[in-house]
């Protein structure tokens, strides 16, 4: 424990884990927990450091000088110095004296796969987990957090992009909805799994009706496509609304979807500047006005979301639980 903040270990240092560290450093002043160790069972310490230090998309270097000392990354900035230990241990060999375990490897979405006698007080799963104690979407239902819950899922990038938006638009009574997702796939994932592009199922299909009572298998559909390109993904929404509405009031309502910390979860942009404009976006999705339409009772919204930078909502959820955990 440092400054009465829960201490934590992050497991899994792929693109999500490295983006999370970047976001943690970017919002270090506002963090309510301490990240003290990063572990990856499949990467050497040298490779982990190399992946992070040479990623030109990460912007932590604006505020932090990095010094590598053996298996420690030392960050030096105006807010002080941070030492984060790197390791490549099996999960069962990690120290059990941390309070929070941040599961970012994608390996443990099923909580039954965690080692027995897993003594961490809270386990945050950075993916959809169908048997977690709770799925909490920041900006929608984080206040439903139960202190008895140990295994917490933040949902997924698509779930976070959709659920708070749909919840707000239900003020006009959603009759039906569908979502079209073109999800980017980095080259390194294709190298590991060449058949991944054949996957057409999306966790949003299951989780949206589970979280939102006005959606079900008869009025909700997700068309999900994985595509070999880098950068943020494309997401298009359709909502059939019962009550009368105009586009401008919809855009105004979207901008009012805020988190507990009173920051906007969504952005509304006038022009389409291409999906790369959303790299490292702070938002769950960025709605493009020029790609949005009203057709009868149907609302069409064109948007981008930086799937790997959905770490922002993961960070927000951990921050929230850190504050209310007692």
What are the domain boundaries of the chain?
7-126, 157-307
Q: Which residue has the tokens 């939102």?
A: 212
Nearest by Cα to 24 from 70, 84, 106, 101: 84
Residue 100 backbone phi and psi in degrees, to 5: -110, 140
Q: How is domain 157-307 classified at the CATH fold level? A: Dihydrodipicolinate Reductase; domain 2 (3.30.360)
CB atoms within 10 A of CB 54: 8
Helix (H) or strand (E) holding 274: none
3-state secondary structure of 62: helix
Nearest by Cα to 231 from 194, 169, 277: 277
Give the model confidence (pLDDT) of 37-77 as tens digits. 999 999 888 888 888 998 888 999 999 999 998 899 999 99
Q: Which two tokens stand for residue 308?
A: 């790997």
State the Cα–Cα distance between residues 314 and 21, nearest whole angstrom.
11
Q: Which residues pair with 264 in a beta bridge?
A: 258
Give the model confidence (pLDDT) of 103-133 as tens digits. 999 999 999 999 988 999 999 999 999 999 9
> Quick one: pLDDT band at residue 2, thresholds 50, 70, 90?
very low
All residues at 6 or more sequence positions from 59 whose CB lies less than 8 Å from its CB, including other chains: 22, 26, 280
> Quick one: pLDDT band at residue 326, thresholds 50, 70, 90?
low
Looking at 3.40.50.11860, 3.40.50.970, 3.40.50.720, 3.40.50.1000, the CATH number of the domain 7-126 comes to 3.40.50.720
Helix (H) or strand (E) holding 102: strand 100-103
Q: Which residue has the tokens 């994932």?
A: 189
Query: What separation, in Å, do the N-terminal and C-terminal C-alpha atoms of the chain show?
Result: 14
Q: Which comes out higher in pLDDT, residue 4 or 302? A: 302
All residues at 6 or more sequence positions from 58 whose CB lies less than 8 Å from its CB, including other chains: 18, 19, 22, 52, 280
């Amino acid at each position: 424990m440092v400054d009465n903040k829960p201490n934590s270990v992050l497991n899994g240092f792929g693109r999500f884990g490295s983006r999370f560290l970047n976001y943690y450093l970017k919002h270090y002043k506002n963090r309510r927990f301490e990240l003290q160790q990063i572990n990856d069972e499949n990467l050497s310490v040298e490779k982990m450091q190399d992946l992070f230090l040479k990623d030109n998309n990460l912007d932590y270097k604006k505020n932090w000088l990095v010094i590598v000392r053996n298996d420690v990354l030392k960050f030096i900035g105006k807010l002080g110095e941070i030492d984060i230990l790197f390791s490549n241990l099996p999960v069962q060999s990690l120290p059990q004296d941390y309070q929070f375990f941040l599961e970012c490897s994608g390996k443990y979405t099923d909580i039954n796969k965690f080692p027995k006698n897993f003594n961490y007080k809270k386990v945050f799963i950075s993916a959809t987990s169908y048997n977690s104690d709770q799925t909490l979407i920041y900006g929608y239902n984080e206040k439903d957090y139960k202190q008895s819950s140990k295994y917490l899922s933040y949902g997924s990038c698509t779930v976070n992009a959709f659920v708070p938006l749909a919840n707000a638009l239900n003020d006009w009574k959603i009759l039906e909805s569908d979502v079209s997702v073109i999800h980017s796939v980095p080259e390194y994932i294709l190298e590991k799994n060449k058949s991944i592009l054949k996957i057409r199922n999306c966790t949003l299909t299951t989780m949206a009706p589970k979280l939102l009572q006005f959606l079900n298998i008869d009025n909700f559909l997700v068309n999900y496509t994985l595509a070999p390109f880098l950068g943020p993904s494309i997401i298009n929404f359709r909502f059939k609304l019962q009550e009368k509405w105009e586009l401008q009031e919809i855009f105004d309502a979207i901008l009012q979807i805020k988190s507990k910390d009173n920051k906007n979860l969504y952005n509304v942009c006038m022009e389409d500047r291409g999906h790369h404009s959303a790299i490292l976006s702070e938002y769950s999705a960025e709605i493009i006005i020029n790609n949005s339409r009203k057709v009868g009772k149907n609302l069409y919204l064109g948007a981008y979301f930086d799937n790997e930078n959905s770490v922002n909502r993961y960070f927000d959820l951990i921050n929230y639980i850190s504050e209310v955990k007692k």
